[in-house]
Structure 1
Amino acid sequence: MFTEFCPKLRELPMVSSAITPTRTIAVLIGVAIIAVAGFAAVRSGVFEPDSLQGAIPGPGSSSPSVSASESPSTPPAPSASPSPTTPEQIRAKNIADAKARLVEYYETTAQVANNGYEDWEDELDPFWGHPDVWVPLATSYTDLAEQGQYTTGAASVEEMVVTGYQASDVGNEEVHLDACVDFREVRNFARDGESIPRSDGAPVRYRFDYVMRHQGFDSIWTVNEQVPHPEQAC
């Protein structure tokens, strides 16, 4: 991770990158529109999050309960999955891990926003891999926390399409994703509980470009680029 840009990240423990996605691409994840500021803007490749923040995650799935008349059976032990060895297998695993990490990022962002942006720094620092992402977001989260704003509802990712892949011999692979995100269920509130309406004409379903980067062997995936395209409805 780019610790020269974010000293706090040096203190974070390494997390295994073996993340297996267990949700469909249509899983409800968190990102919301703070509409008082209008659209997010991108200047010189730097993401400016004037209107993009978190939302609570969607409901998780649970296992069906076993009735008293049923005898629960012991499931067979899962067989170990072989480690990827061929370039095709490694690429497929990296893409799956990057997608899963992006879902986890949105879910964490959702929890933070739903909780009034409390502890946003501790929760979200591990996900940010480039100052073009974390610097403007940190400024925005600080302001929202001080103002006491919060969100309810959940956004949903309608699809994630791989638009690029960069291999690496030292564990610094990159996966480029095009995501369509729907924000219609998200609502924003002020400290006193008053609803903050979206700006007139603010889009509620549009595309994002993401660059997910692996930070080395036995390390984690980070969001290294986040570019909203509110002009691209999906």
Structure 2
Amino acid sequence: MVSSAITPTRTIAILIGVAVIAVAGFAVVRSGVFEPGTVQGAIPGPGSSSPSVSASRSPLASPSPTATAAPDPTTPAQIKAKNIADAKARLVEYYETTASVANNGYQDWESKLLPFWGHPDIRNSLRTAYTDYAKKSDYTTGAASVETLDVAKYRPDDAGFETVHLRACVDFGQVKNFSKDAEPIPRQAGAPTRYIFDYAMRHQGPDSVWTINQQVPHPEQAC
């Protein structure tokens, strides 16, 4: 297991809707076996992670007072390794922030989550959903587990705009959705709880952050 996530989240309808995401300006439309309005689950959330995920500190994280700064990578192999570790760490940070937002009824989601979204299609797809959840004060509890997190592709860039494609197997079986009155929102019959997500993480240049430029759920691909 790569990480165990204590996550709140909302519906997989969001995630399938966000399949209309783009990398390098080209929209990718993904329609799964399941209709967006009939699938409920969760986005991966926060939790402890193995060194392969979080050994390299996220660009937004504050250094520990006793931490010794690692030397800057110089060789292509070292740069690639650091970029992959940073992209994974940034994705885990996104999960943690999403969990915090959903735990709080999706209040202030925009200021907390927009910095993670690197393409307008992601922002446009999620803005409507999160705004609606915030108005209704829906919230979630439970534990989602990121069972695996593998590198599918790495694209270097001399200007510092590298891309790391990650494939994650996520288990949402413990996630529960609730209305503001603490009434459970039941999972739709037949909704998958464990399946594959593809992410494209884009570095936004030297001394900048990694962003999520593509998020594609594959509810038809059990893992």
Q: Find the residue that maps to 2:84 and give its secondary structure.
A: helix
How far the C-alpha of 1:40 sits from its partner, in A, is 2.5
Amino acid at match of 1:228: P
Change in CA separation of 1:58 and 1:39 when aligned onto 2, cut-off 3 Å = closer
Q: Which residue of 1 aligns with 2:46?
A: 57
Q: Which residue of 1 aligns with 2:89?
A: 100
How far the C-alpha of 1:57 sits from its partner, in A, is 3.5
How far the C-alpha of 1:129 sits from its partner, in A, is 0.1
Q: Distance in 2 between matches of 1:199 and 1:38?
A: 14
Q: Which residue of 2 aligns with 1:154?
A: 143
How far the C-alpha of 1:79 sits from its partner, in A, is 5.1
Verify the 8 A CA contact 2:195 2:219 in the aligned structure 1.
yes
Q: Find the residue that maps to 2:3 and give its secondary structure.
A: coil
Q: Which residue of 2 aligns with 1:130?
A: 119
Verify the 8 A CA contact 1:34 1:198 in the aligned structure 2.
no
**Residue 165 of structure 1 pairs with residue 148 of structure 2:** no
How far the C-alpha of 1:56 sits from its partner, in A, is 6.2
Percent identity reads 58
Q: In terms of mean alpha carbon deviation, does 49-58 or 175-184 score higher? A: 49-58
Cα deviation, 1:31-74, whole Å, max 9, x if unaligned, reads 64527x598254562579765655763479xxxxxxxxxxxxxx
Q: Distance in 2 between matches of 1:145 and 1:203?
A: 25
- Please list, as runs of the form range in 1=range in 2, the aligned pairs for 1:1-234 lying within 5 A after superposition: 25-28=2-5, 30=7, 32-34=9-11, 40-41=16-17, 42=19, 45-46=28-29, 51=40, 53-54=42-43, 57-58=46-47, 80-234=69-223
Which structure 2 residue ranges, 5 or more long, are not aligned?
A: 21-26, 50-65
Q: In terms of mean alpha carbon deviation, does 213-222 or 144-153 score higher? A: 144-153
Amino acid at match of 1:215: Q
Q: Find the residue that maps to 1:210 and give its secondary structure.
A: strand
Q: Quick check: which has more Rg, 1 or 2?
A: 1
How far the C-alpha of 1:120 sits from its partner, in A, is 0.1
Report the TM-score when normalising by structure 2. 0.78
How far the C-alpha of 1:78 sits from its partner, in A, is 5.8
Report the TM-score when normalising by structure 1. 0.75
Change in CA separation of 1:46 and 1:229 when aligned onto 2, cut-off 3 Å = same
RMSD: 2.6
Q: Which residue of 2 aligns with 1:21?
A: none
Verify the 8 A CA contact 1:179 1:209 in the aligned structure 2.
yes
Amino acid at match of 1:175: V
Which structure 1 residue ranges, 5 or more long, are not aligned?
A: 1-23, 61-76
Q: Distance in 2 between matches of 1:83 and 1:191?
A: 48
Q: In terms of mean alpha carbon deviation, does 38-47 or 187-196 score higher? A: 38-47
How far the C-alpha of 1:25 sits from its partner, in A, is 2.5
Verify the 8 A CA contact 2:199 2:215 in the aligned structure 1.
yes
Cα deviation, 1:166-220, whole Å, max 9, x if unaligned, reads 1011110000000001111110001111000000000001000000000000000
Q: Distance in 2 between matches of 1:171 and 1:53?
A: 32
Q: Distance in 2 between matches of 1:92 and 1:39?
A: 28
